[in-house]
Amino acid sequence: MTDAGMIEIAAGVVAAVRSTADALAAGGASRADEAAAGALPAWRVPEYLAGRGLLRRLLADLVGAGAAGAELRARPGGQPYLAGYPDVGVSVSHTGGTVAAAVGVGRPVGVDVQAPTAPSAGLIARCCTPEVADALAALSPARRDVEFARIWAVQEACVKAAGTGLSGAPWRIPVGYAQATGVWGVYRWRALRRPDVPPAACAYAAERADRAYGR
């Protein structure tokens, strides 16, 4: 096992959330990742390498060294996939000094992490039911920001798993106040609550594919 801080979400689905500094120090990024990072603005390099290193350590734990070293590519909509491993779902996210990654064996996954910021009333109305909006309004500003970030992380994780991104209208995905797990269509999701990292969530297809990769 690697030191990836792996969280088992479901059978064959794992995720991890780490500070960028910790994930970067743990390594794991491939030479191809390092080469690709050279084309990025300097400020993006640490989070890029940290996210991919975290993902590759999860892959090493769950699937094996071959998958951990495979090329990461992106579909037209931006959803990442692992070359040569079509049945292994992968996802990476980063925000303000934190990275998250997820791997699904035999099913697509999506992961998202959100640094809490003050949402506008319009954004809350767009992303939340009236009942949830009322619950958020009763909180202190700091607590409200955290709870809204958790809701948005769930919504983003779901559309990432579906491969639709923002075109999938994540704000329409219903998420209850303080809800820890849920279902959206053929996808299930789980909020990842840890006191030392910002709100994060992982979503995955409820049904496994017929063929899966093992060690």
Task: State whether residue 181 is helix, strand or coil.
Answer: strand
Could you give the CA distance from residue 96 to residue 80 in angstroms, rounded to a whole number? 21
The CA-CA-CA angle for residues 190, 194, 200, to 5°, reads 45
7-205 fold: Ribosomal Protein L22; Chain A (3.90.470)
Given a contact cutoff of 8 angstroms between Cβ atoms, the answer to whether 73 and 83 are in contact is: yes
Contact between 124 and 133 under an 8 Å Cβ cutoff? The reply is yes
First and final C-alpha spacing in the chain: 13
pLDDT in tens, the chain (215 residues): 454 678 999 999 999 999 999 999 999 999 999 999 999 999 999 999 999 999 999 999 999 999 999 999 999 888 999 999 999 999 999 998 999 999 999 999 999 999 999 999 999 999 999 999 999 999 999 999 999 999 999 999 999 999 988 888 999 999 999 999 999 999 999 999 888 889 999 999 997 754 433 33
Residues 6+ apart with CB under 8 A from 153: 112, 113, 114, 191, 199, 200, 201
Question: H/E element holding 118?
Answer: none
Tens-place pLDDT, residues 181-208: 999 999 999 999 888 889 999 999 997 7
Rounded Cα–Cα distance for residues 168 and 12 (Å): 25
Indicate the domain borders of the chain. Answer: 7-205
DSSP-derived 3-state class of residue 130: helix
* Structure-token pair, residue 187: 């996808």
Written as six digits, the tokens of 7 are 């969280």
pTM of the model: 0.92
